[in-house]
Amino acid sequence: MPYLPPLDDFRLILTHLAGYPALSKTELFAEAGAETAEAVLTEAGRLAAEVLAPLQRVGDRQPARLENGVTRTPPGFGEGFRAIAEGGWIGISAEESSGGMGLPLSLATAVNEMFSAACLSLQLAPLMSQGQIEALEHHGSDEMKALYLPKLTSGEWMGTMNLTEPQAGSDVGALTTKAEPAGDGTYRITGQKIYITWGDNDFAENICHLVLARLPDAPAGTKGISLFMVPKFLPDEAGAPGAANALRVVSLEEKLGLHGSPTAVMAYEGAKGWLVGAEHGGMAAMFTMMNNARLGVGAQGIGVAEAACQMALAYAADRKQGRAEGRGTIIEHADVRRMLATMRAQTYAARAIALLCAGALDRAKAGEAAAAAEAAFLTPIAKAFGTDTGCEVAQLGIQVHGGMGFIEETGAAQLARDVRVTAIYEGTNGIQALDLVGRKLADGGEAAFALIDKAVAEAEAAREALKPLAEALWQAAEELREATERLLALPVAARGAVAVPYLRAFALVIGGQAHLSAARHGGAERLALARFYLLRMLPEHQGLLAHVAEAGEAGLPTADELLA
């Protein structure tokens, strides 16, 4: 079905919640004012709707395949990627010195969401390159930047991330891929990597793999990991793709969804590579890639949620079933309206959190000291809640369709299949929650309390005009403050059992702030959705915070009890 970019949502959030007008007045982003932002969002939305959305079903029905060692991508994917590249969208937030636009990540996040909503399988390709671009900007040598960054931002070459091995998933420190010095400043990389998104394709001139590996006598665990650039084709003296490197695609994974995206098992057989960053400094570079990707993956979940909302709304407005007053279609049924309202309200909340996170990263880059801590705290929330939202809203979309949602021809099932992995990769959502209650609370809760204070300030600003909604947000924020204080009193090791419900409760409160802001600055439709969220969805936070009140693992069965 057609995709309609949610441009009004982006405008409302960026203007009234995420602080874009002030950001565009900073020296760094002085060229990214309201007119530029509007042009970027409008043009990216047009590309998503007209070029990428028609590829969504193609990729599912004609998946990527490996033929005699050559990866064949779905019809139209090469042209779709070139349209993304030629529009400059890969390098939208990359440095201008690298050939990028140098625009705020706030705009890049909105663009990534729209592309994800249109065709997630294809959007994964530029996302991988974006993560590699950021890693090289921070950790690459001047020579490496000069060679790779212009080609990655232009889309001539594509980037990947090679982290996972059969025995080393979330436990990255267990990897065994080896890197032997060749004596000429290069290294020979040997090992196998799995789950490599867009590990190969048939339209890019070169595929640039960032590979985690161990140098000889490296320390065990994560302290002994280094990062290497290992291209598919070795650049010649002119920087053009030359001889084939000693690497190959062993197979493409057969997956639940994302069939248009080739996920490769890669074999490195003494492949030539170059060190990125310092020896044993691979984790620092990896986290640069991962943090970029975590926000990007959160936007992917939100994009799929938006697509599911639009599909379900269109179906409910057209489907005649049972006795329905008014329009005479199922959208008049109370429970259908409950599901649709839940889908739309949760999607808006997740979108706002992602843009708040991106805005904080932009402000930090522009020199605002406190923004870095805010961005760090919001990143695991944006990733986990964004992807949980994608999964939950896509499932509700199937339910709205009824039996037709279970039939592949509608496309509703594809959205649920495609988005499911987003809650797993780039660090499972459980790992995001552990990061939140561990590293992100290591400041004594300073960043957490600052965000809670912003929610309270929103409630105070709306108290006169929207008293019941403002009081609901104020109460929830103060209960979150108390739960955070209780959590800080626990040893870090005891927080894991309550990490996931705490993260979601935090997301619900920030979502309430976003909806109250929308009710203050938007029209009647915004008020209706805010009322539904704040009075019917936000109270879920109390049940979630009850986990924290139980203090650590109290009430949680042991492994032996579960296996009994």
Handedness of CA 70, 74, 79, 83 (dihedral sign): negative
Q: What share of the chain is helix, strand, coil (3-state, %, to 5)?
A: 60, 15, 25
Q: Which residues pair with 274 in a beta bridge?
A: 229
What is the Cα–Cα distance from 518 to 512, expressed in whole angstroms? 10
pLDDT for the residue 133: 93
- Is 425:297 a contact under the CB 8 Å cutoff? yes
Q: Which residues pair with 271 in a beta bridge?
A: 189
pLDDT for the residue 426: 87
Query: For residue 199, which amino acid is it?
Result: G
Helix (H) or strand (E) holding 329: none
Number of C-beta neighbours around residue 67 at 10 A: 8
What is the Cα–Cα distance from 258 to 421, expressed in whole angstroms? 9
Angle at the Cα of 98 (from 97 to 101), degrees rounded to 5? 80
What is the Cα–Cα distance from 351 to 9, expressed in whole angstroms? 9
What is the Cα–Cα distance from 13 to 10, expressed in whole angstroms? 5
pLDDT for the residue 554: 64
Q: Kindly state the tokens that stand for 107.
A: 């705009």
What is the Cα–Cα distance from 564 to 559, expressed in whole angstroms? 9
Residue 328 burial (10 A CB sphere; 0-12, 13-18, 19+): exposed
Over 102-138, what HEC string results? CCCHHHHHHHHHHHHHHHHHHHHHHHHHHHHHHHHHH
Number of C-beta neighbours around residue 334 at 10 A: 7
pLDDT for the residue 553: 62
What is the Cα–Cα distance from 375 to 331, expressed in whole angstroms? 39
- Is 514:533 a contact under the CB 8 Å cutoff? no
Q: How many CA atoms lie within 13 A of 191 on its CB side?
A: 27
- Is 56:1 a contact under the CB 8 Å cutoff? no
Q: Kindly state the tokens that stand for 406.
A: 């279970």
What is the Cα–Cα distance from 561 to 520, expressed in whole angstroms? 50
β 178-181/70-72 pair status? unpaired
Closest CA to 59 of 141, 121, 136: 121
What is the Cα–Cα distance from 225 to 212, expressed in whole angstroms? 6
What is the Cα–Cα distance from 33 to 278, expressed in whole angstroms? 38
What is the Cα–Cα distance from 170 to 184, expressed in whole angstroms? 33
Q: What are phi and psi of 228, to 5 degrees?
A: -135, 145
pLDDT for the residue 288: 76
Handedness of CA 363, 508, 518, 48 (dihedral sign): positive
Distance of CA 469 to the CA centre of its chain: 30
Catalytic residues: 426
CA distances from 103 to 31, 38, 60, 109 (A): 8, 13, 33, 11
pLDDT for the residue 21: 96
Q: Which residues, 6 or more positions from 130, have their beta carbon under 8 angstroms from its beta carbon?
A: 90, 91, 93, 94, 108, 292, 296
What is the Cα–Cα distance from 110 to 19, expressed in whole angstroms? 15
User: Hey, is 193 helix, strand or coil?
Assistant: strand
Helix (H) or strand (E) holding 465: none
- Is 507:381 a contact under the CB 8 Å cutoff? yes
β 157-162/206-214 pair status? parallel
CATH of 158-284, one of 3.50.30.10, 3.40.50.970, 3.40.630.30, 2.40.110.20: 2.40.110.20
What mean pLDDT value characterizes the chain?
95
Q: Kindly state the tokens that stand for 312.
A: 């379900």
Q: Which residues, 6 or more positions from 113, have their beta carbon under 8 angstroms from its beta carbon?
A: 299, 300, 302, 303, 306, 351, 354
What is the Cα–Cα distance from 199 to 163, expressed in whole angstroms? 12
What is the Cα–Cα distance from 504 to 510, expressed in whole angstroms? 10
* DSSP string over 371-416: HHHHHHHHHHHHHHHHHHHHHHHHHHHHHHHGGGGGSGGGSHHHHH
What is the Cα–Cα distance from 191 to 270, expressed in whole angstroms? 8
For the chain, which residues make up each domain, given as ranges?
158-284, 430-557
Closest CA to 414 of 57, 94, 17: 57
What is the Cα–Cα distance from 351 to 516, expressed in whole angstroms? 14
* DSSP string over 298-328: HHHHHHHHHHHHHHHHHHHHH---SS--TTS
pLDDT for the residue 97: 87
Query: For residue 442, which amino acid is it?
Result: A
Angle at the Cα of 378 (from 305 to 489), degrees rounded to 5? 125
pLDDT tens sequence for the chain (564 residues): 689 999 999 999 999 999 999 999 999 999 999 999 999 999 999 999 999 999 999 999 999 999 999 999 999 999 999 999 999 999 999 999 888 999 999 999 999 999 999 999 999 999 999 999 999 999 999 999 999 999 999 999 999 999 899 988 778 888 999 999 999 999 999 999 999 999 999 999 999 999 999 999 899 888 899 999 999 999 999 999 999 999 999 999 999 999 999 999 999 999 999 999 999 999 888 777 777 789 999 999 999 999 999 999 999 999 988 776 788 899 999 999 999 999 999 999 999 999 999 999 999 999 998 999 999 999 999 999 999 999 999 999 999 999 999 999 999 999 999 999 999 988 899 999 999 999 999 999 999 999 999 999 999 999 999 999 999 999 999 999 999 999 999 999 889 999 999 999 999 999 999 999 999 999 888 999 999 999 999 999 999 999 988 766 667 888 898 998
What is the Cα–Cα distance from 30 to 103, expressed in whole angstroms? 10
